[in-house]
Structure 1
Amino acid sequence: MHVLSSRILLRPRDPEVSRDFYGRTLGLAVYREFGTGPERGTVYFLGGGFLEVSGRSDAPPSETLRLWMQVADCAEAYEEVSRSGAVVLRPPVQEPWGLIEMWIADPDGHRIVLTEVPADHPLRYRP
């Protein structure tokens, strides 16, 4: 199989609230929009992938789904999302494996980890 593109599909309880969260609170850039009305689809750039917010679902968030987003500076991201009113589940902490991670939740309760790879971490630093 040769994958050409991919995206995560998110079916929120309230699409407008979720679009506001991903677009305004997190500041994700819009890749494309389709359809009309409150349940129209919006696809956001998500680093090397995409996040599509479309449709609607009353199902609770799955414990098996997490969004992982690498950011340049976790402390700065913490300040930004806190000012924007995001639910911060855990402020930035340097993990035993060396990454700095913080956790937030989207309006439906989906957990999102914001991760910083420090300059001296093996993922970035090669002696």
Structure 2
Amino acid sequence: MEVLKSRLLIRPRDVEATTAFYRDTLGLAVEREFPGGTVFFLGHGSVEVSGRGEAGASPDLVLWLQVRDLAGTLAELEANGLTPVRDAQREPWGLDEAWIADPDGTRIVLVEVPEGHPIRTDTR
């Protein structure tokens, strides 16, 4: 299978609140908008907020976002009114992670790969 593009679709209970969260609180760039939905850039992927869900977040779904500066990102998000679910800490596998959640409770893991970690690459 050859994958040309990918994105995660989120069906929130409140489309407007969740769209505002990804656009305004997280500050994600809009890839495209269409009636009933918005697609946001996520580095090499995308997340689409569209439709209406009923069940809310699943504890089995986690959005993993790598950032360059975890402390700076958390400070920016806190200035936008977001309180982390769990503050940053170094995990046993060597990554620095903090947890946040969208309005439906979808867990989002913010990850910084520290200097010297085997997966650290600069893809600019």
Q: So what's the TM-score if we normalise by structure 2?
A: 0.93
Q: CA deviation at 1:87?
A: 3.6
Say if 2:70 is the partner of 1:60.
Answer: no
Larger Rg: 1
Q: CA separation in 2, counterparts of 1:57 and 1:88?
A: 24
Q: So what's the TM-score if we normalise by structure 1?
A: 0.91
Question: How large is the RMSD of aligned CA atoms in angstroms?
Answer: 1.1
CA contact (8 A) 2:12 2:56 kept: no
Q: CA separation in 2, counterparts of 1:64 and 1:30?
A: 26
Q: Which amino acid aligns with 1:73?
A: D
Decide whether aligned partners of structure 1 residues 59 and 87 sit closer, same or farther in structure 2, where only a CA change above 3 A counts. Answer: farther
- What secondary structure, in the 3-state scheme, does the structure 1 residue paired with 2:85 have? strand
CA contact (8 A) 1:86 1:106 kept: no
Q: Which segments of structure 1 move beyond 3 Å, counting only runs of 4 or more?
A: none
Q: CA separation in 1, counterparts of 2:62 and 2:52?
A: 19
Residue in structure 1 matched with residue 104 of structure 2 by the alignment: 108
- What secondary structure, in the 3-state scheme, does the structure 1 residue paired with 2:94 have? coil
Query: Structure 2: which 5+ runs fail to align?
Result: none
Corresponding pairs, count = 121
- What secondary structure, in the 3-state scheme, does the structure 1 residue paired with 2:64 have? strand
Say if 2:7 is the partner of 1:7.
Answer: yes
Query: Structure 1: which 5+ runs fail to align?
Result: none
Q: CA separation in 2, counterparts of 1:87 and 1:54?
A: 24
What percent of counterpart residues are identical? 57
